[in-house]
Structure 1
Amino acid sequence: MKINCLAAFLLLSLSLFSSPKEHNEIPKKIRESVPELAQYLTADFKSEREKVRALYTWVINNIEYDYEKTQKGKVTFFNGPENVLKEQKAVCTGYVFLLGALLSEVDIEWEEVQGYTNSGAPYFIPSIVLDDHAWIAIKINGKWELADPTWDAGYIGSLYKEKEPDPVDKQEKYIKRIEEQNKKLKEKGRDLIKVPEVNTDTVKEYTGKIGFVKDPGYSWFLVSSDSFLTRHLPSNPMWQLRHDTLGVRDFVQGPKRVKMHCEKMYDNSFYPYEEVLHQYEQLEYLEKLIFLAEDAIAYFPNNSRTKALRYFRFLQILNDEEYRKFIKENIPERESRGMFTRMKEVMDTTMNYIEITRKNEYVREREWDSFYKQSYKLTSKRDKQYIASYESEKELHDKSEDLLEKEQERLEKEQSKIAYEKIKFKKKYPYVVQNVDTVVDKSFRTLSPNAEALATLGEEFEILEAEWLENIDAPALLEIQFRNQFNVFLLEKRKEALTQKFVEYNRFIDTLDRRLQKNFDALDRLYSEELKQEMLPIEFFKICKQITGKSKVLLEELRLKQINGEIKDIEVVEEVVNNFVYAYWRRLEALNQDGYSFIDWNENYLKEVQKDWRKLAVLTKVQPKLNKAKLKFLEEEFENSHKREIDMTEMVEEKTEDWKKEIDKIL
């Protein structure tokens, strides 16, 4: 049965159905009869392809996968197409044989195809693989094509209920109340509440149970043989419909490996599938069973299961009471003894291969049990890491609030110091202060090394200023919020994937885990480094103090030179230097105010980020619980699968042993 994968979370499917005739519109007498139903559904169509599509559409829309039957740990038997029509439920063979029976009624050839399936994202490759799925080959206009009605009927996944949204008028009243509340909040200068939009979409409410989810489509209906091969590998290579056949070990590595194989033709390998199919079609049914058994074991020697079951089916037919009676009454004793001796040999072969199958099943059980436990251990480790990462980042988040508070206090003190420096400057140089130019003039720099050093300090200030303004142009908190919201999204998807419980989601979970780890690492850097770097550097104040000190040294030097007659008039230079000094104190004052405003913005934005942290708290804590539930489910699922296989081997052994005893009596 197919599993609803990564695409189920991230993509929307398009409905491609032709309008099927509704089940309840069809008279009961017709819908309970295979011949009448086939004629009714195809009455409006002439071409074989149209008839096939009409029958296929009805089957995938009206037959549910009998998931409950697979959970009983017993081998499932196909009870005939009429029973499938009556019960409206089936497993894969039921889908195939019902569709096949309908096709036969409109003279369209078909064959059951037994085979292997792989997951869309293989996570574990066992040594023992089962060909425990069935699909159908249909001959349309003389050409064989493939389809899988079981997978196209729906999938096994989390069951859900469609929840209708609140009536529009009720939603509009709620929105109006929020808008009125926002008016009051705005008057008080408080944060506004986000106004929701009217929602008319239904919402899926998951029940927490796993079962068949009806989702009819045409994903596996008469698609190209190469596309079909990505997820379906026939036990008999002729049904690959390729000259260059794919091996089982390549197939179980997943669709990517299959596509690589299909894109590259191997000149040294040629399989004449058309010829093999032609020869196969000429065989009688019993001959086909033997051919399928021997061909499957030749293709994949580990597949003792198929050989045992094909031989068993062969024996079932030959051991029918009517058939035996016919042999006794119509075939001479000498010839009949030879037939019964041959039947006994087939029984011995069946017993040998079913014993190998049983041993293989216990190997499969050990492998999967080990895999489930290792997978659970790995995922549990990641769950703990997420909780630890959350707690660590949350601690940094809380510390950032303290950081902002301390920075605010520092800037307030620094602002007082800046004001004090400006007052001193006003007292000493009142004329210069009143006529200070906003453009920083560094024309004095060539006068002496001290002048050059003073100009260089101004340039250091400007470089630091440019760097800081660039830093706060894209605040760390914006990225922190993005990373947090992305983590919320990823953890919600991880939660959904764990809820689905199947191993096919492990690869998807791995991808989510890698992205989550990158985000948590980035958050650590953002909180511990970048947020601190965005605070107004204390170096600005230090540079301004150095500028003031260096200007005094320079002016003292110039006065000495004037006394010594080296310079005639320093008043102009003195004015330029003082303008230079005061300009940087003014710039620092403006930067200090910007830094204070930036901190204020950060404090308000932290409240928004806090909402995401609350969501993360819930999501990180729920992961271990879901992971544990997944392990329990997988172990139960596999236990049911294992029990079915063992039950099947015991049933085959018991029946075959009974037949042998009856043959011994005859011989």
Structure 2
Amino acid sequence: MKIKKITILFLFINAIFLHFSYSQEYNAIDKIILKYPKHFSSTEILAERIEKDFSTEHDKARAIYSWIALNIKYDYKSYLNPAKPIRFSYRNEAEKQKQIESLKDKTWQKAFDSQKAVCEGFTLLYQHLASLVGLKSEVIRGDSKRLLSDIGRQNSQSNHAWNIVQIDRKWILVDATWGQGYYDSNKKAMVNYFNSVYFDTDPKYFFAKHFPDSGVYLNEKLNKEDFLNGPLIFDATIEGDNEILSPNSGIIEANDGDKITFRIKNISKTDTLFYLKKGRPAKIENPREVRGALEFQVTYDKKMGSYITFFLYQNSIASFKIIPK
């Protein structure tokens, strides 16, 4: 049988429009993991080490995330040259499932041994290690949102994979692939840069950047239109809890000279917030603080182009698509 091939795409930030810098921080669990060997002879030995050093379900789940994000590199060459679809035959459902499980085992084992993978390898390795330390984890496949061109995209795509893991009877969201680094378009290479914001991510932020193929999370239906048409948010947005309160869409209709009102959570008037106008930073004028958020207006100039991105200090936090009325 021909398995439907999962196209593993890793979508990247467009550096022509966007600049980003993350504060690479490690918590107590990460600092322990940093002392681990970069490679273990087996997943069982790694799991035993984690169980020895950590006692709670949360700490074990975080330790697995951190080890993978710190030691498995994104395989950009495989992303550019994906493997051919795998075919196999079976006589009954039990044999089919056995074949599928065998393929999954080969995928996580290859990721562990070679220390490089695309998202399928990251997620299956996470699920496998979680099972070894007694945690329930599932692989979720779906769409991802990382580019300006994703704002207002017409259809969702199955181009990414992530995990959910159960901690103290509660499921949390985990994306170890995005935790390991980012693509530098200037160097045309992956940069390993540990980022913890994709462990136990708040669903309101996670599903602004991910949409499961099922359209459902924990038996609750998600809004695909909100995902496709919402603003593009960034890692710094999640880290700073900078929720976009207004406008409620990432697509803004405006003519030249129109004033557009924005409201973003957890930003004060003393913070350095700006956008690009004619290729130069433009400061926000006359902002006001409203119930824990910064409210301000931007006068749209068609010379700004089709997108407007806001930066908090050096971090991009939100992008919107501007279309003429």
TM-score category by the smaller chain? 0.5 to 0.7
Using the alignment, how far apart are the partners of 2:302 and 2:67 within structure 1?
A: 38
Aligned residue in 1 for 2:139: 112
Does structure 2 retain, via aligned residues, the 8 Å contact 1:32–1:82? no
Using the alignment, how far apart are the partners of 2:302 and 2:178 within structure 1?
A: 26
Structure 2 length-normalised TM: 0.58
Aligned residue in 1 for 2:23: 13
The one-letter amino acid paired with 1:44 is: D
| Pairing 1:236–2:217 present | no
Alignment equivalent of 2:70, drawn from 61, 64, 76 = 61
| Pairing 1:246–2:273 present | no
Aligned-pair distance for 1:223? 1.5
Using the alignment, how far apart are the partners of 1:76 and 1:32 within structure 2?
A: 29
Aligned residue in 2 for 1:215: 193
**1:488–1:228 distance in 2 versus 1, CA, 3 Å:** closer
Q: Over aligned residue pairs, what C-alpha RMSD do you find?
A: 3.6
**1:119–1:21 distance in 2 versus 1, CA, 3 Å:** closer
Could you report, residue by residue, the CA deviation over 1:139-180 in whole angstroms, capped at 9, with x for unpaired residues? 00011111100011111223xxxxxxxxxxxxxxxxxxxxxx
Bigger helix fraction:
1
| Partner SS, residue 198 of structure 2 | coil
Aligned residue in 2 for 1:26: 37
- Note the 1:591-606 alignment, pairs <5 A: none
- Note the 1:327-338 alignment, pairs <5 A: none
Using the alignment, how far apart are the partners of 1:52 and 1:9 within structure 2?
A: 31
- Note the 1:256-271 alignment, pairs <5 A: none
Aligned residue in 1 for 2:119: 92
Using the alignment, how far apart are the partners of 1:136 and 1:147 within structure 2?
A: 5
Could you report, residue by residue, the CA deviation over 1:107-163 in whole angstroms, capped at 9, with x for unpaired residues? 1000001111123644564444311210000000011111100011111223xxxxx
| Partner SS, residue 61 of structure 1 | helix
**1:56–1:123 distance in 2 versus 1, CA, 3 Å:** closer
- Note the 1:582-593 alignment, pairs <5 A: none
Does structure 1 retain, via aligned residues, the 8 Å contact 2:13–2:146? no
Does structure 2 retain, via aligned residues, the 8 Å contact 1:118–1:254? no
Using the alignment, how far apart are the partners of 1:116 and 1:75 within structure 2?
A: 21
The structure with the larger Rg is 1
**1:250–1:19 distance in 2 versus 1, CA, 3 Å:** same
Does structure 2 retain, via aligned residues, the 8 Å contact 1:49–1:140? yes
The one-letter amino acid paired with 1:64 is: K
Aligned residue in 2 for 1:182: none
Using the alignment, how far apart are the partners of 1:36 and 1:125 within structure 2?
A: 46
Aligned-pair distance for 1:14? 4.3
Alignment equivalent of 1:52, drawn from 55, 61, 67 = 61
Aligned residue in 2 for 1:226: 204
The one-letter amino acid paired with 1:51 is: K
Using the alignment, how far apart are the partners of 1:27 and 1:156 within structure 2?
A: 22
Using the alignment, how far apart are the partners of 2:164 and 2:135 within structure 1?
A: 11
| Partner SS, residue 15 of structure 1 | coil
Does structure 1 retain, via aligned residues, the 8 Å contact 2:11–2:144? no
Aligned-pair distance for 1:38? 1.0
| Partner SS, residue 43 of structure 1 | helix
Aligned-pair distance for 1:21? 3.2
Using the alignment, how far apart are the partners of 2:166 and 2:122 within structure 1?
A: 17
- Note the 1:243-322 alignment, pairs <5 A: 243=220, 245-255=221-231
- Note the 1:413-428 alignment, pairs <5 A: none
Using the alignment, how far apart are the partners of 1:123 and 1:137 within structure 2?
A: 24
Aligned residue in 2 for 1:138: 165
Using the alignment, how far apart are the partners of 2:302 and 2:114 within structure 1?
A: 41
| Pairing 1:514–2:308 present | no
| Partner SS, residue 223 of structure 1 | coil
Using the alignment, how far apart are the partners of 1:63 and 1:512 within structure 2?
A: 43
Using the alignment, how far apart are the partners of 2:46 and 2:18 within structure 1?
A: 33
Using the alignment, how far apart are the partners of 2:111 and 2:191 within structure 1?
A: 18
Aligned residue in 2 for 1:197: none
Aligned-pair distance for 1:43? 1.2
Aligned-pair distance for 1:80? 2.8
Aligned-pair distance for 1:222? 0.4
Q: Unpaired runs of 5+ in structure 2?
A: 1-9, 87-103, 234-242, 249-276, 282-299, 306-325
Using the alignment, how far apart are the partners of 1:140 and 1:96 within structure 2?
A: 17
- Note the 1:440-589 alignment, pairs <5 A: 514=304
Aligned residue in 2 for 1:419: none
Using the alignment, how far apart are the partners of 1:153 and 1:120 within structure 2?
A: 18
**1:511–1:119 distance in 2 versus 1, CA, 3 Å:** farther
Does structure 1 retain, via aligned residues, the 8 Å contact 2:215–2:224? no
Using the alignment, how far apart are the partners of 1:253 and 1:143 within structure 2?
A: 29
Aligned residue in 1 for 2:237: none
Does structure 2 retain, via aligned residues, the 8 Å contact 1:2–1:151? no
Does structure 2 retain, via aligned residues, the 8 Å contact 1:125–1:252? yes
Aligned-pair distance for 1:12? 4.3
Aligned residue in 2 for 1:157: 184
**1:10–1:112 distance in 2 versus 1, CA, 3 Å:** closer
| Partner SS, residue 53 of structure 2 | coil
Aligned-pair distance for 1:16? 3.4
| Partner SS, residue 236 of structure 1 | coil
Could you report, residue by residue, the CA deviation over 1:33-58 in whole angstroms, capped at 9, with x for unpaired residues? 11111111331111100111111110
Aligned-pair distance for 1:209? 3.9
The one-letter amino acid paired with 2:31 is: S
Using the alignment, how far apart are the partners of 1:27 and 1:212 within structure 2?
A: 18
Q: Unpaired runs of 5+ in structure 1?
A: 159-207, 264-485, 491-509, 516-667
Using the alignment, how far apart are the partners of 2:152 and 2:84 within structure 1?
A: 24
Bigger strand fraction:
2
Aligned residue in 1 for 2:95: none
| Partner SS, residue 19 of structure 1 | helix
**1:73–1:94 distance in 2 versus 1, CA, 3 Å:** closer
Aligned residue in 1 for 2:313: none
| Partner SS, residue 191 of structure 2 | strand
Structure 1 length-normalised TM: 0.30
Aligned residue in 1 for 2:262: none
Using the alignment, how far apart are the partners of 1:512 and 1:67 within structure 2?
A: 36
Aligned residue in 2 for 1:605: none
**1:21–1:238 distance in 2 versus 1, CA, 3 Å:** same
- Note the 1:383-394 alignment, pairs <5 A: none
Using the alignment, how far apart are the partners of 1:511 and 1:110 within structure 2?
A: 48
Does structure 2 retain, via aligned residues, the 8 Å contact 1:20–1:57? no
Using the alignment, how far apart are the partners of 2:132 and 2:231 within structure 1?
A: 36
**1:115–1:21 distance in 2 versus 1, CA, 3 Å:** same
Quote the sequence identity (%): 25
